[in-house]
Structure 1
């Protein structure tokens, strides 16, 4: 069952290259769960299209199953390089392997790493008081434990 669903899923995603797979599971009881994202977001119609492409090519008489196709939620961590690229300009909170927590604007996302920029208040090098300093960090994907988009309300 898993292999057939995966083939159908890959074909459906190939038909719409702006969509990409985030997560795919098939349980022992044939509960199929698919999470997708898109370069331009994901609509309900996108989920229905992927669901139909799979469901219409499986035979319930042969094997019973349940199918759930959903979009990656805003509260879910980023897992694919394409997700970082579509979130350039947004604020991220990144936890690194070294235990560091970085909150900053995502300014670049390459195939290997992301660039975050932020401002912070630090003690002046000479004299009393603090001044604002611009910081930047380039973090390789394999050093990221978790990255989430920070939701801000203006």
Structure 2
């Protein structure tokens, strides 16, 4: 049986001195290995091939047969690691907190503790009849976030 730690070590060697980072590594029964990677820029097929070769060339199919899949997460997949938040600073995201409603906003900052979003919302200002656009800031600690996804938009800014 192939160990996750062994695969993670091989991935670390393959991505050393690159901007590629590991999101997840899973081994299912029958040695079905699934690896999710990303890149600080944009993950490419070349990145996936580099990681795949780094694993395949260092495992012995004679002793342990395996199936290997290396890919990047799709646009609709939730964030799993902090580096995904950092990569997406400046993009609109939706955060679903563990308690409360979803919040959509611009991902402005990522710290060790959490993230900061901003958004413009229409609110009634005291003493005025009509609503006005105001800047709203939202702070989330990582432990309070259930799910974060990039907002897919086809609008030109």
User: What range describes the TM-score normalised by the shorter chain of this pair?
Assistant: over 0.9
Query: What's the offset of the Cα at 1:120?
Result: 0.7
Q: Deviations over 1:99-147 (max 9, x none)?
A: 2311000111112111100011112312422111110011111111000
Q: Deviations over 1:72-94 (max 9, x none)?
A: 21111112111111111100100
Equivalent position SS for 2:12: helix
Gaps of at least 5 residues in structure 2 are none
Match status 1:14 vs 2:16: yes
For residues 102 and 136 of structure 1, what CA distance do their matches in structure 2 show? 11
Count residues with an aligned counterpart: 153
For residues 94 and 4 of structure 1, what CA distance do their matches in structure 2 show? 33
For residues 9 and 124 of structure 1, what CA distance do their matches in structure 2 show? 54
2:131 alignment counterpart: 130
Q: How does 1:64-103 map to 2 (within 5 A)?
A: 64-103=65-104
For residues 9 and 132 of structure 2, what CA distance do their matches in structure 1 show? 56
For residues 60 and 143 of structure 1, what CA distance do their matches in structure 2 show? 43
Q: TM (normalized to structure 2)?
A: 0.92
Query: What's the offset of the Cα at 1:9?
Result: 1.7
2:114 alignment counterpart: 113
Equivalent position SS for 1:62: coil
Q: TM (normalized to structure 1)?
A: 0.93
For residues 142 and 34 of structure 2, what CA distance do their matches in structure 1 show? 25
Equivalent position SS for 2:16: helix
For residues 13 and 145 of structure 1, what CA distance do their matches in structure 2 show? 29
2:60 alignment counterpart: 59
